[in-house]
Structure 1
Amino acid sequence: MGILSDDVVVIREPEIAGEPSVITVSCPDKTGLGCDLCRVILFFGLSIVRGDVSTDGKWCYIVFWVVGRRGRETRWSLLKKRLLGVCPAVSAASGFYNWYVRQQETVAAEEKPQVFLLKFCCFDRMGLLHDVTQVLCELELTIRRVKVSTTPDGRVMDLFFITDTRELLHTRRRKDETCEQLRSVLGECMTNCDIEPANVEMAAYLQASLFLPPSITEELFILELSEESRTSFKNLSVAMDNSLSPGHTLIQIKSPDHKGILYDIMRTLKDYNIQISYGRFYSTHNGSCEIDLFVIQKDGKKIVDSNKQTALCSHLRTELFRPLRVTVVSRGPDTELLVANPVELSSKGRPLVFYDITLALKMLHIRVFLAEIGRHVIGGSEWEVYRILLADDFELSASRDKIIDVVTKILMGWE
């Protein structure tokens, strides 16, 4: 009943090396579409350096100028396929357009990907967890939760709760492909590999918990600002203006740049049910960003309530200043790295966080003794919390401040 044309997403690679690639999206509009597109682009390791958004409420036209990481090849055809996957389809009968889009959104909200449990054993080595995470990311397997434990004799038991973007993990071929890719990276140190659907008890393990120890929430969410952080916060501004447009509220943002900054803005607006009618994003060479967004509420009206304006501006400042929380704490004789990642109301979170954490630890030559990912409700919001128990000899490689610094820079794209 719905169709997607190849013209919905057009990707033009640069003619001159070093220039941005251009991604053009033209499709029916929906609240949160910009957020969904930015999440996909971020998953492919691309940074948006410029963006233009325009919509009449029914149809939108979006252009992103993107650059990739040096030395990392982008799978453009696969990126196009994933971008098409989040675009609303065009109804073959235009008279049913609004009904069809509502149906698509309802179905998308009700459908949840099947969760699988990946179990394997191997002998520990430096960078093991990052190498495994990289394989899963390349296979488009999303890590929902992980529990990694190391025995005194150096054996590692890994439990990964994963979902498959391709929705093929129920097939023997896809399972064999996953295990073979892991074996090709881990070599003879891998002793066994098994993938099975998660049962009811396992699925319950993935649900957000209402409780985290107060010591953890305090470490993650009540951190003193360093002088450098205070300076960055002063360079960040979020303002609203209702005088420049008869039908829209203008949100003006000036902020230091970081990886996924446009995604952080879009997901915040999506959670507030704010629709963007027109917007421009520009990243400067000196490491700052300027964003102008003409927006309306879901009811099609301006944001005139002063309390709503204050709440939204405050939330945007917080998300731009510190979209992820990073700290290192003592747990008795052990030392734990903590990272908290905000989760959208749609239950989706920032991609590649675990990838970046394990990359940073591999770069620092720090081994992981235990790793867990869990979802928790903190202050009325859902967070994905990464708890990494570091090996006893971590201080031979880096101090706690150095770990926080490197992990933060990798996560924020400042490396």
Structure 2
Amino acid sequence: MGIPSDEVVIIRPPERPEDPSLITVSCPDKTGLGCDLCRVILLFGLSIVRGDFSTDGRWCYVLFWVVERGRKATRWDLLKKRLVEACPQASSLLGIEIYNFIRHQESVTEQKPQVFLLKYSCYDRMGLLHDVTEVLCELELTIWRVKVSTTPDGRVFDMFLITDTRELLHTRNRQEETCTHLRAVLGDSMCACDIDVASEEIAACLQASVSLPPSMTEDMLTQEIRDESYNSVPSSSPLSVSVDNSLSQAHSLVQIQCHDHKGLLYDIMRTLKDYNMQISYGRFDAAENGNCNIDLFVVQSDGKKIVDQNKLDALCSSLRMELSSPLRVTMVSRGPDVELLVANPVELCGKGRPLVFYDITHALKMLEIRIFLAEISRHVVGDREWEVYRVHLGDDHELCASRDKIVKGVTKMLMGWH
């Protein structure tokens, strides 16, 4: 396969305002590359409406047609930089291109980024937590844990465990930049802002717990979910996942028909990455009516097609579950008050789904519902790790919206159905 361009990533603006932008990626291949690229695109709030993938096992060529979905204007130069960072690098030796790609089973453990503790206090107001979350996202600070509390007199004490994509938060300039942006959004109500390296004891809480919070049961996270309150995708939407081994001697064809949602391609690629599958060729199309068709020619890590029936059944089952319930949203009673629960699976490499907390707080701000307490934690159920968001709503939430309206509002925001 020839190299179409010297540039790893090329982003072409649309010819007409209503057309999508085109992202072209040309780089050495590796297992899970599609997942990593889709995750970056999702992190920037873009929706993929069409995709094309091809590889000869060494070099890959990927096309994404993307559209903006209501967030602030995309920082295309920064997006390009992050996509390039997600790609394996090629080096040259004696005039011959050497492709430095690392297969999944040979990959080295990524160095964990330094964890920082952000603390600030201010006076509460509607949508405050969402505004803070938006600032942190814009600054490329990743939220790993959050502890939010509000006193009866309206004073807010918030603590965030964060990491910095730019790896500069240890510097005074970067810390001052963060506090300045927070102060701009919080105004005179901000009383304090401190950023310190998290102690080993505090950073240790990033480890997943085997015990679930009292308000959550394993039924919410297990694969045999039939309760419609946990099912994100409308029951009337088509959902079909099948594997055909008859069309290719070297590849298994995974065929998917489903309803579109934000991060759909990421959910598919994440599942294939966790199963250590490599995509040799694939095509994704999202129709105007919201239905999608995906064809993926895949091989296992040994380069062979999937012939073991148990592996085929497990892969299809996992894909159906990820497409029918990529996120679990429900509300439970907590004494006289209620708690909003949102859960999503974590990649095997430890990365959580992007922008979940941003979307939760955005939906509640739109519904004019105050957040009294909020926590993010990780829990292991069976052989899976889950990221769990617990949001304790103010006791005036029933004046704003019913429980059903809150669940639907948060779900629509998370799924991009608005």
Q: Structure 2 length as normaliser, TM-score?
A: 0.94
Match of 2:360 in 1: 357
Cα 1:402–1:219 change in 2 (3 A) is farther
Partners of 1:183 and 1:227 lie apart in 2 by 38
Partners of 2:71 and 2:363 lie apart in 1 by 17
Cα 1:390–1:70 change in 2 (3 A) is closer
Counterpart mapping for 1:338-377 below 5 A: 338-377=341-380
Match of 2:166 in 1: 166
Partners of 1:339 and 1:230 lie apart in 2 by 15
Cα 1:6–1:387 change in 2 (3 A) is farther
**1:84 correspondence with 2:84:** yes
Contact 1:9 1:25 in 2 (8 A): yes
Identity, in percent, stands at 69
Can you list the C-alpha shifts for 1:353-393, whole angstroms capped at 9, x where unaligned?
A: 00000000000000000000001101320000000000011
Match of 1:156 in 2: 156
3-state secondary structure, aligned to 1:34: helix
Match of 1:60 in 2: 60
Cα 1:201–1:82 change in 2 (3 A) is same
Match of 1:307 in 2: 310
Counterpart mapping for 1:250-269 below 5 A: 250-269=253-272
Counterpart mapping for 1:2-401 below 5 A: 7-70=7-70, 72-93=72-93, 97=98, 100-102=100-102, 109-213=109-213, 215-218=215-218, 220-221=220-221, 222=225, 224-225=227-228, 232=235, 235-401=238-404
Cα 1:191–1:230 change in 2 (3 A) is closer
Q: Which amino acid aligns with 2:253?
A: L
3-state secondary structure, aligned to 2:410: helix
Partners of 2:104 and 2:312 lie apart in 1 by 31
Contact 2:45 2:71 in 1 (8 A): no
3-state secondary structure, aligned to 1:369: strand
Q: Which amino acid aligns with 1:63?
A: L
Contact 1:220 1:339 in 2 (8 A): no
RMSD over aligned Cα atoms: 2.1
Partners of 1:260 and 1:109 lie apart in 2 by 26
Q: Structure 1 length as normaliser, TM-score?
A: 0.95
Mark the runs of 5 or more structure 1 residues left unpaired by the alignment: none
Shift of 1:331: 1.2
Partners of 2:198 and 2:107 lie apart in 1 by 22
Mark the runs of 5 or more structure 2 residues left unpaired by the alignment: none
Q: Which amino acid aligns with 2:315?
A: L
Can you list the C-alpha shifts for 1:12-48, whole angstroms capped at 9, x where unaligned?
A: 0012111000000000000000000000000111000
3-state secondary structure, aligned to 1:184: helix
Cα 1:225–1:59 change in 2 (3 A) is same
3-state secondary structure, aligned to 2:102: helix
Cα 1:70–1:204 change in 2 (3 A) is closer
Cα 1:70–1:230 change in 2 (3 A) is closer
Partners of 2:175 and 2:383 lie apart in 1 by 38
Contact 1:236 1:253 in 2 (8 A): yes
Partners of 2:218 and 2:27 lie apart in 1 by 44
Aligned residues: 410
Partners of 1:213 and 1:133 lie apart in 2 by 24
Partners of 1:229 and 1:156 lie apart in 2 by 32
Shift of 1:72: 2.8
Partners of 1:309 and 1:378 lie apart in 2 by 23
Can you list the C-alpha shifts for 1:323-375, whole angstroms capped at 9, x where unaligned?
A: 00000100111210000011000101110000000000000000000000001
